[in-house]
Every structure is written in C-alpha cells, then in structure tokens.
Amino acid sequence: MDITKYNKIVLFTGAGMSAESGVPTYRGSGGIWHKYNWEEYACQDAFDRDPKKVLDFHELRRKSVLECKPHDGHKFITKLQNSHDNIIVVTQNIDGMHQRAGTDNVVELHGSLWRLRCDNCGITNNDIGETFVNTKCKCGNYLRPDITWFDDMLNSNVIQQASDVIQKCDLFISIGTSGIVWPAAGFPQEAKSNGAFCIEINTERTELSYIYDKVIIGKAGEIGEYLLK
C-alpha cells in the first residue's frame, strides 16, 4: 500500500511497540501487572502509603528501559516523519522510546517515566537519569512520577490534543495495543467515524480488530515492511 498518499497520519502505539525492544507489556505473558500488584506500586494510594517503595519500583522500570534500545519500527516512524509532514505519534507508552529513536511530535497519553511532579506546588521536573536526581520537592513533599496510574484522571489537555489530531487524520494506524484501556480504547472508532482508513498491527487479534479496515497480524519491528509493500 502507498501510505504516502495520505495527508495526516496518526500512529497510535501501545506496549507492544516497545515489547520488541525488551520492555515488558502490561497484560500479555510476562506482563508487568502479572508480576506486580498495581495496588502496591501504581496508584496514588500506594504512593501516599509508601512513597519510597513506589519510587523504587519506578526507578527499576527506568533502569530496565535504559537497557533497551529503539528497534526498526521506531526508526521507521522517525524516517517517515522526516520525509512527510503531518505524521503524529499518539502513545500510551511512558518509556520515551519513540523520542530516543528521534521521533518528534509524540503525544504521551499516560505521561512520562522521565518526569516527576509535585501536586502540592503544581510543578513538573524533567529527571532523565538512571536513578532519580531528586525525589523531594522544595516544599518537602515527595515528587511522584508524572504518569497516569490506576484511578488517576488523565490530563485533559493531552486527551484533547490526541482527540483533535485523531479526528482530523485520514490514516490511523494502531501498533501493539490491546485497546482495552479508556479513553484510548475509543480512538479507533473516533478516527473511523471521521473517515480515516484504519489499520491495526498486532501479534494477535484484539477486541477492537473488528473496527479496522485492515488487520495485520505482525510485529511492531516490521511495520516498515507492512506499510510500504
């Protein structure tokens, strides 16, 4: 297919995009939520109870992400972006792997593992090392990772930004997401209702496969081959 004939392309990525780089997914075999109970590590209540334990868990995640490298699929998206206008990535991933591959224009729905924030003062700090540079705010509060945990509200500006580009796109390609977490689960339908051609790339069919015009059972690392042939 010739994807270059489309004017506005949204690539919507999930944990399966990073899986081939070695970052574990959430729900599949070896998924993070099978190994770790999110109630102990990934919600505000857990952080309020034991901030150090929750920060240690996220530091471990940062270390494991730093051991991984972007793959050919990430690089393909960067190349696509360098040769065409209006290519936007909307990702549920917090690992920053798209940016490490040189991709710009990434809307991070669930925030970033490389940022901390203080809800008391309303500030966010970039913090990109293997270990956290600073885990306490000037006000004395522990800083929390600026990501969406269970029971957290999503950042409404970011959702709006994603929704805007999804409604305007004429090609919507989802890669490596189970599609069951809202509001992201509504995106393919949103794209389709606005006339976009929708492609799903995943190693298996998902609950949302029926919405897509084309379903490709395949790997995120090989998207260049699927999308250019």
Let me know: does 124 contact 111? Beta carbons within 8 Å: no
**Contacts to ligand OAD from residues 105-124, by CB under 6 A:** 110
Let me know: does 168 contact 8? Beta carbons within 8 Å: yes
Q: Is 110 a catalytic residue?
A: yes
16 binds, among Zn ion, ligand OAD, none (CB under 5 to 8 A by kind): ligand OAD
Count of CA atoms in the C-beta half-sphere (13 A) of 199: 20
Cα separation, 102 vs 219, whole angstroms: 20
In this chain, which of 21, 78, 99, 206 binds ligand OAD, going by CB under 6 A? 206
CB 176 to Zn ion: min, Å? 36
Q: Interface mask (CB under 6 A) for ligand OAD, residues 1-20, using x and -? A: -------------xxx--xx
How many residues line the site for ligand OAD (CB under 6 A)? 23
Let me know: does 144 contact 52? Beta carbons within 8 Å: no
- Quick one: which of 176, 173, 179 has its CA closest to 207? 179
121 binds, among ligand OAD, Zn ion, none (CB under 5 to 8 A by kind): Zn ion
137 binds, among Zn ion, ligand OAD, none (CB under 5 to 8 A by kind): Zn ion
Catalytic residue positions, numbered:
110
